[in-house]
Structures are given as structure tokens and as C-alpha cells.
Chains A and B, each alone.
Chain A
């Protein structure tokens, strides 16, 4: 057990990645995630790893493809505009069934947007931002400790399923410091017989490829991939419930907004309002079961987001529109205040 130290969220991601056995990082500067690259540039040369500042986000994600093809743990990080550039490579990673970790420390958009925190890349992350039918595993940390632990989890899931795992954080999570403990963990490695290690003249050549010119073959690959996705939706969804046992109003929030929502819930509870929260930790797979269980119990749901209302669609689907779902949001780099959330709770009938 190590001592708890204060770390920035971005640094916690970088250190956790190293603990997870990642020795190859490719990045490009962009606020508010640059600390990840800076941290890696200090650490990697000292542990025999690769830190490379690529000529573009596009080059960086393709370098990731190279390392992933060779069978090693690898990551890249960026913020929203840079993640848009990486989408081509992410689609190729999906099409080649390659594992990799991609970190998005989101900022406001669209376009160059701003540099303040945002959650408006939810759709891009969860619905597949590039071309083709695919999903990424999407993990949404809500503390610096989770920035670390979900990074390690992300590498494990990526390897387990041959997929991109994305850490979907925001500028606040990246910049804030909290106590964090990154234990020396046992690295769970999986066999990668498909990796490009050279035939050694001992086996048939391995090919990492996403091209299937025969449509019946490409259809089959897509079917197989979606069988895998179905299994992940069954087995890997993660969420936290906060004061849900008797809740009549259910807030839904992830990342920084879930932290603000906790303050609002505590204040509302102090006034006798029965409100709780479901915090999705995996955004894909979306924890539908948690919602099914609460759809009959609660009279209303409130999706608290730093977007114009993206996750709210998944909430509606998860409760099959059995109850009204309201949106409480700020955008453009603004963060909802506890008061914003409290007044929404009042509005949807939580007033006592």
C-alpha cells in the first residue's frame, strides 16, 4: 500500500497507465489535457518507454495502432477537437479489434469551442465517433482516484475484448487535485496470439486488417463484433447509486456533474425531499439494469449534463419512457451549480 498523495487528475491517469504496464504514449498538446503528455515525457524515458509528441492527433492515433498491432499496451490522450481528429484511427482500431486506451479530457465545442470543461462529446464517445458500426468501452471517472483506477480497468477491458477503452473525463477532472493511491498492481496480461511479432519462421503470418472486400465476410465480422458487444452489455456495466433506496426523484449524472449533484441531493434531503442519483461509471455499456430497477419506483428522472442533452436519450431508453425525464444542463464550459439542480428538483415536483 502506498501513501496517499495529491495528484492532478491528468497526472493520475498517466501514472496509472504506467502502473498498468503501458510503455508507449503518443500525444499532441491541447488544453486541458496537456499534463498527461508532460507527465509521460518525464516518466517514460526513465522506465525504458516511449513518449512521442506526434506531428498531429491523426499521426498519434496511428502510432497507437502500430503499437497495439505489435501486442503492447498503448495509449493516447487529447481533448475534444483533438479527439475528433483521432476518430479515423479509432474506427480502424475497432475494425481491427485492437485494444488501446484513449483519453478525452473534454472541453466545450463545437469547433474550437473553449477550454473550459464540458461533457458534450458523450454522443461521439458512446455512439461511435468514426465511421462504421462499432462501440468503444467508455469509462467516466468522477474523482481523481477513479481517473487512476478506471485507467487501469480500461486497459484490462480493452485487452479482454480487443477494443478501444475511452476515459471520458472533462477539464475539471483533469485539473483538480485529490488524494489518490495507486497501488502496485499485478498486471493482468492476456495472450495475444494475433499480434505482429514476426513469424520467426515458425507460424503462418499474422495480419491485422479491417478490409473485407467480400460483403458477406464483412457482414459476418460485424455480427461477431456485436455478439461481443452484447456480452459486454450483460457483464461489464458499472454504476453507483447514491441514496436511491427511497428516492422519488432520480438524478442521473456522471463525472463532475455527479459531484455537484451530490451536494444538491444532500441539501434537498435536508429539506426532506426524497431524491437520489444513479451515476453511470460506464457510459457504454450504459447501465440499463440500474434504471430498469428504478423506473417504477421513481416518479421522475433528471439528467444533469454539461451538454445540450445527450445522455438523456439513453436514460429515456433505459426506462423505456415509463416516467418523465427532465434535463438540467449548462454548456459551453459552464458547470451546473447545486442551486441549478435544486431548482430543477423543485420544478419537477420535489418541493415540500
Chain B
């Protein structure tokens, strides 16, 4: 049975929940079972935000990701908090513009993506989350075939102009060379 447990973590306002939603919809449109679970409450408002996304060939059991196969972190407290939860052989994606620290574990694959810096350079400062998501999709072997349809589902009708920039950001990350 193939199940991917993904944990996104960062500050509120970085689009953590949105990226998670993108990932969940991508799984749904690919015919998988999916779940998406945010942290909620006061911490959503400017504090830390995280969200669990599970994509599976089978019915999803617990929607809570406590041992991620894939961890995406966009601030240092999240890396400190979740680094050791990642399963051996798992993947960690780090926004290296915001996080100086290197991962000491050797039993996981670590990808340092300067997402926030890249986003600022390209004048799309709110889309670092989608750049790092693009990189993650590449490394877990996902395709970009359905991203138009996925973005169509999660970008509201009023903001269709955002669809293209989101797509560009994902591709930017996807095509990033180490």
C-alpha cells in the first residue's frame, strides 16, 4: 500500500494551509484517497501554522501526520520541532532563505530550497510556498500534468489572475537544479 504522509509547517501567512490544500487536491484529482488537517486556533493568526496532508491508495486512517514521510518547513522553530519525527528514508524540504540551520540526520534526504529568496527576486513574495512545493513534487516523483485543474479548484473565481503566477511558481521549484 502506498501512502505518503506530508507535514507542512511554518508561520501563519506563509501559505502553509494553501500549499497543503493544493497537494490534497492534486491527490484527489489523481484518484487517490486524501485528507488535509490544519492546526487551528490562535496560533493560526501570525504564530506557527502546520498542516497534515495524507495521500494514499487506500482509505486514510488517522488524518494526523505524526511521522511524516515528507516534511516541508518554512521557519526554524518548525524544523527544530519536527526534524526528528521524519521517518528514516524520508525527505525534508527547507526554505534555506529563512533557515540557516543544516539537518544533522543522515538517514533522510534533505533539500535546501531558497524559496523565499527566489520569490522575492521574481516579485512574487507570497509564493515561496508554491516554489518549495514544486521542488517537493519533483522529488517525490509527482507529475505536473493536472496542476491547471488543481489550481482551478483552489484559486477562487475572483482571483483567476493568480492561477498563472501560482503555476509559474510551482514550475520554478519543480525545474530547480540542485
Contact = CB atoms under 8 A, between A and B. Distances in A.
B24 A6 contact: yes
A171 interface: yes
A32 B42 CA distance: 11
Interface in A246-267: 256, 259-260, 262-263, 266
Interface stretch (B57-65, B92-100, B110-118, B128-136): B57-65
B40 A259 contact: no
A175 B37 contact: yes
B64 A31 contact: no
Contacts of B61: 259-260, 262-263, 266
Interface string A24-65: 000000011000000000000000000000000000000000
Contact of A176 (B28, B33, B37): B37
B39 to A, nearest CB: 9
A43 to B, nearest CB: 16
Contacts of A171: 40
B36 A177 contact: yes
A39 to B, nearest CB: 15
B62 A338 contact: yes
A197 interface: no
B41 interface: yes
A233 interface: no
Given A172-B63, A177-B21, A116 B36 contact: no
Contact of B28 (A6, A259, A262, A266): A6
Given A4-B28, A259-B62, A178 B40 contact: no
A210 interface: no
A177 B64 contact: no
Nearest to B52: A176
B24 A177 contact: yes
B34 A179 contact: yes
A34 B146 CA distance: 32
A94 interface: no
Given A4-B28, A263-B61, A178 B36 contact: yes
Nearest to A34: B40
A102 to B, nearest CB: 22
Most chain A beta-carbon neighbours within 10 Å: one of B33, B61, B66, B153: B61
Given A177-B36, A337-B66, A6 B41 contact: no
Contact of B25 (A6, A259, A262): A6
A199 to B, nearest CB: 48
B40 A31 contact: yes
Contacts of A177: 21, 24, 35-37
Nearest to B66: A337
9 contacts: A6-B25, A32-B40, A32-B41, A115-B41, A177-B24, A178-B36, A256-B63, A266-B61, A337-B64
Interface of A: 4-6, 31-32, 115-116, 171-172, 175-179, 256, 259-260, 262-263, 266, 335, 337-338
Given A31-B41, A179-B33, 9 more contacts: A6-B153, A31-B40, A115-B42, A116-B41, A176-B38, A177-B35, A177-B37, A260-B61, A266-B61
